[in-house]
Structure 1
Amino acid sequence: MSPRDRAAEAEETSPASVNGSASYVYGIVPTDVEVEPGTEGVGQPAGEVRLVPFGQIAALVSDVEVDRPLGRPKDLQAHQRLLDQTAAEVPVLPFRFGAVLTDSDAVVEELLKPYHDQFADALQEVEGRTQYVVNGRYDEQAILREILRENGEAADLRQQIAGLPEDATRNERMRLGEIIEGTIADKREVDTAAVVDELSDVCEQLVVREPAHERDAAHVAALVERGKKAEIEQAVDELTRRWSGRVEVRLLGPMAPYDFVGTS
């Protein structure tokens, strides 16, 4: 079990409910990081974020009431916002949403002390870097026209079902749907490779994510040096220009390096 999973599991097994509160863990940072006073975290009421240090590392934590389950959209947003804002300034190892331990002592004894060297090494790997996500999504009408233009069977099927009720053309519609789905999958593979090629010169590492939508053309996470924001924006601008009218390209970030932190 990874240290981050251990922290999340602790919510179910710890006796935190006896004291009424527990320590919610957002992630790991170097011990010399400072948290701005008044920074609020998850929960209702929101606890103030603080550091629990040990050796060269520290955990970003806040107190949460154990009788008020987390899971509201505001909680998830607060979790991500804190990590992303932190990653814009300092290295951070983000934990998945919902990691809770009994108290600050448990954070040290169960998390920081046993995994100190592992966390310290991982922080070195993301030092000076931040994550971006490039998402491309096919324009529905544009990709359909492209498929019909390139695939004769799809074009014939489209003509056969035109103006006819769904019940009378069920088989044809199912076959057309299969062709479209399969063709988009093939195009996604090619277009994802194009994104990776475009970004490879400006990124330290790249991770191809699973599609988040059936019309995704590419979904790629990139680990980038903080000083290269302009370079990755320029690369994405080039993709946007190249795919104008065909694929909507979005650049998300900077954010915490969710895709580049090991879990073992």
Structure 2
Amino acid sequence: MTTDPAGSAHGADHGENHAVYVYGIVPADVEPEARATGIGDPPKEITVVRFGEIGALVSDVPDRPLGTPQDLTAHSELLDGSAAVAPVLPLRFGAVMSDAQAVERELLQPNHDEFRAALHELEGKAQFVVKGRYVEQAILREVLDENAEAARLREQIRSAPEEVTRDARMALGEIIYRSIADKRAADTRLAVDVLASVRPAVGERPPTHDQDAVHLAVLVDLSQRGELEEALAGLTEQWNGRIRLGLLGPMAAYDFVMKREPEG
């Protein structure tokens, strides 16, 4: 995506009664790059429907049901690529309106001031996701070293046939689950404290795996990306051999400004 200060503030040229897919809201001066494509096979061309100071990234709707993995990837890739160069309010996957005129009349016009203000707040910012997962053997050793009952159950299980240790295995599993949940909460607090140096907006995401250690969405100024990476490098060193830490982004601010699917 690029920005064009002289860009038109009028709707894009889509035929009447031609359904359009809506990806997100951007400033009116945004112009799609030639290589920008959306959903569909072959991928549909991206255009902008404009009203006033805002616009909507749209494409034609494919002549088939939506929802393939390729569609989901195209939706997020377009939004994430846009967020790297301009503020964008992402819409949830599957937003379809009857035509470009409906996008202008039913989505952009009635929400113009709200969308403009939200885009202003996002200027120069993007979302990143901090994801950490415990190293399995390391975290199990940690739990066993810290919990005498867990260590006792582990020895009981090792020294008896499997068919007679069912209750012990269930009890040990419950201790490990609770211990990891407690450690996850503590490690998440530590990560948030470390990231405070870049003054992000932070959203805690639910774990996607039993051994997830940290799962945070952070909204930061793109100018501070280096500081964010430096802060995480310190955590990576501190947690070496215990937690594998990764950073995803920049991406659209899904966790902070996701707009509902428009009616139309």
Task: Say whether the fold is shared (TM-score over 0.5).
Answer: yes
Secondary structure of 1:97's match? coil
Q: For 1:164 and 1:76, how far apart are their aligned partners in 2?
A: 49
8 Å CA contact retained: 2:90, 2:258:
no
Secondary structure of 2:31's match? coil
1:83 is matched with which residue?
A: 79
Question: Which of 119, 144, 162 is the aligned partner of 1:166?
Answer: 162
Question: Which of 12, 15, 19 is the aligned partner of 1:22?
Answer: 19
Counterpart check, 1:234 vs 2:230: yes
Question: Which of 181, 187, 191 is the aligned partner of 1:185?
Answer: 181
Matched letter for residue 196 of structure 1: V
Structure 1 residues 164-173 or 234-243, which shifts more?
164-173
Shift, 1:167, TM fit: 2.7
Long gaps (5+) in structure 2:
1-15
Q: For 2:19 and 2:45, how far apart are their aligned partners in 1?
A: 13
Q: For 2:82 and 2:70, how far apart are their aligned partners in 1?
A: 18
Question: Which of 126, 131, 141 is the aligned partner of 1:130?
Answer: 126
Q: For 1:62 and 1:165, how far apart are their aligned partners in 2?
A: 62
Q: For 2:58 and 2:162, how far apart are their aligned partners in 1?
A: 56
1:225 is matched with which residue?
A: 221
Q: For 2:167 and 2:188, how far apart are their aligned partners in 1?
A: 31
Alignment of 1:134-213 (within 5 A): 134-213=130-209
Please give the per-residue CA displacement for 1:103-146, whole angstroms capped at 9, x wherever unaligned: 10111122111111111111111111011110110011100000
8 Å CA contact retained: 2:90, 2:259:
no
Secondary structure of 2:203's match? strand
Matched letter for residue 116 of structure 2: A
Matched letter for residue 46 of structure 2: V
Question: Which of 54, 57, 71 is the aligned partner of 2:54?
Answer: 57
8 Å CA contact retained: 1:46, 1:64:
no
Q: For 1:216 and 1:222, how far apart are their aligned partners in 2?
A: 17
Secondary structure of 1:78's match? helix
Residues 166, 71 of structure 1: alpha-carbon distance in 2 compared, 3 angstrom cutoff:
farther
Q: For 1:142 and 1:107, how far apart are their aligned partners in 2?
A: 53
Secondary structure of 1:240's match? helix
Normalising by structure 2, report the TM-score: 0.89
Shift, 1:22, TM fit: 1.8
1:9 is matched with which residue?
A: none
Q: For 2:221 and 2:232, how far apart are their aligned partners in 1?
A: 16
Structure 1 residues 202-211 or 173-182, which shifts more?
202-211
* Runs (4+) off by over 2 Å: 163-167
Q: For 1:50 and 1:204, how far apart are their aligned partners in 2?
A: 32
Matched letter for residue 50 of structure 1: T
Aligned residue pairs total 245
What RMSD over aligned residues (CA atoms) do the two structures have, in Å? 1.5
Q: For 1:164 and 1:85, how far apart are their aligned partners in 2?
A: 56
Counterpart check, 1:118 vs 2:114: yes
Shift, 1:163, TM fit: 4.9
Counterpart check, 1:253 vs 2:249: yes
Question: Which of 29, 36, 44 is the aligned partner of 1:39?
Answer: 36
